[in-house]
Structure 1
């Protein structure tokens, strides 16, 4: 169902008052039963990411890094099976996957080792079995699967949803006999930045002439719209445009 700006702002206010956990999503669904789970998750994720960006620096100071690492060591020494890193992340209000990354980086530097590359860290986060310590691997895994806003699992889900929306949109265009060039065709022609589809013959939608379509499988708030305009849309603006946001 359509979401008004007032409704969005009310949801955003509630999101700001709840902890960044999966349990909070149940709270949101109970508070706003008329909104779909996917819509609430998108808003929850976007608002949470704004908080993370504001507080990111304080969690990456040398003091914070060492405190989190020592907390991890103490916790797993007491009970290696308990979700030490996940509980730490919830306590300090930081994304579980990002807390796991901080502790993993510190672990790999134990004994004066070199700073691990981002490629290595990302590979271990995608596949914790690569971590050369079984206890830490399990702790990192718990953080990854319980993080609803960050981490490789979330990135994989977002990519899959984005691809699904593009496929559905292409099917609709074919069904409506709308002639278009898809993104891969445009890249083959040498375009560096492209929308998902450029219409070879523009169409009219609600009084607007549409030349191209960009599908975004996420909730489009004002902040994200401004970012998309600056980073992407203005580069191939040629008249009216039409952007599909979801859910």
Structure 2
């Protein structure tokens, strides 16, 4: 299996996008990680990183930042999700929202306690709905209100939830929607490149109709060679490939593809650490 994100071609597949040339050494990656640790997950953080690393695309920098920020949230989220802590956040929100109804109270609170704004909005909305109904709100109701804050019966809270959602670059329904769209966009780009080279292939939709449940994005009907490696399938990842995410993909996807279809190729469109374990 070959992890490709630096413009290496598959039977001549190349992109004109300069960010595809991104192959970082581990030391270079760690330097960028050190910078991400200083930043909050707001839209402004991307500009700060871009100013510091002008040769990188915004997409690459945002992907690196998101990966590292999500690791940090997983390590620290439990301390925010304790009942007495949630209650203290909620009571503070009520007090400050009453005093300053037009201020971005939740966004400021999230930044102060080092929590993702979208996750803070989720916690406070969940607590609000419990007070309204006297029980735990269903996930479907909670998710629908986070996606469409106008459904929230409290206008001030709706405004605060909206502010948190649009200012969070790592979590929330807006980020999920953007990631889905970008992932599909890169899959389409891959299809177009394969068609340009007259390579015959099956995509996920074709494979599902054939009864496959867990498949890569592309199965090549006639294998090709890439840098001396035979490639039977291609997986498209619209993200940066770091050690942790790559290992997760290996365990959850890539090895099962390898066992079923043989060796394949992974494209990390926003670059990757040069010495990832590709085995």
TM-score range, shorter chain: over 0.9
Secondary structure in 1 matching 2:131: coil
Show the counterpart of 1:116: 137
Within-5 A mapping of 1:46-61: 46-61=67-82
5 Å-filtered alignment, 1:1-247, equals: 1-5=21-25, 6-110=27-131, 113-237=134-258, 238-247=261-270
**Rounded Cα–Cα distance in structure 2 between residues aligned with 1:186 and 1:25:** 38
Please list the CA deviations of residues 37-67 of structure 1 after superposition, one character each: whole Å capped at 9, or x if unmatched: 1110000111000000001111110011101
Q: Distance in 1 between the 2:45 and 2:203 partners?
A: 39
Displacement of 1:112 in angstroms is 6.4
Partners of 1:144 and 1:112 in 2: CA distance? 24
Aligned-partner Cα distance in 2 for 1:156–1:83: 23
Quote how far apart the aligned CAs of 1:23 are.
Answer: 2.5
| 1:75 counterpart SS class | helix
Deviation at 1:35, TM superposition (A): 1.0
SS at match of 2:219: strand
Report if the CA contact (8 A) 1:148-1:154 is conserved: yes
Q: TM-score if structure 2 supplies the norm length?
A: 0.86
RMSD: 1.1
Large movers: runs of 4+ above 4 Å:
none
TM-score (norm 1): 0.97
CA distance in structure 2 between the aligned counterparts of 1:18 and 1:167, rounded to whole angstroms = 33
Q: How many residues align?
A: 247
C-alpha distance in 2, partners of 1:178/1:25? 37
Q: Distance in 1 between matches of 2:67 and 2:119?
A: 16
Q: Is the 8 A contact 1:20 1:93 kept in 2?
A: no
Name the SS for the 2:127 alignment partner: helix
1 CA distance for matches of 2:196 and 2:132? 62
Write the distance in 2 (CA, Å) between the matches of 1:64 and 1:246: 40
User: In 2, distance between residues paired with 1:114 and 1:87?
Assistant: 28
Question: How far apart in 1 are the matches of 2:47 and 2:92?
Answer: 29
Deviation at 1:111, TM superposition (A): 5.7
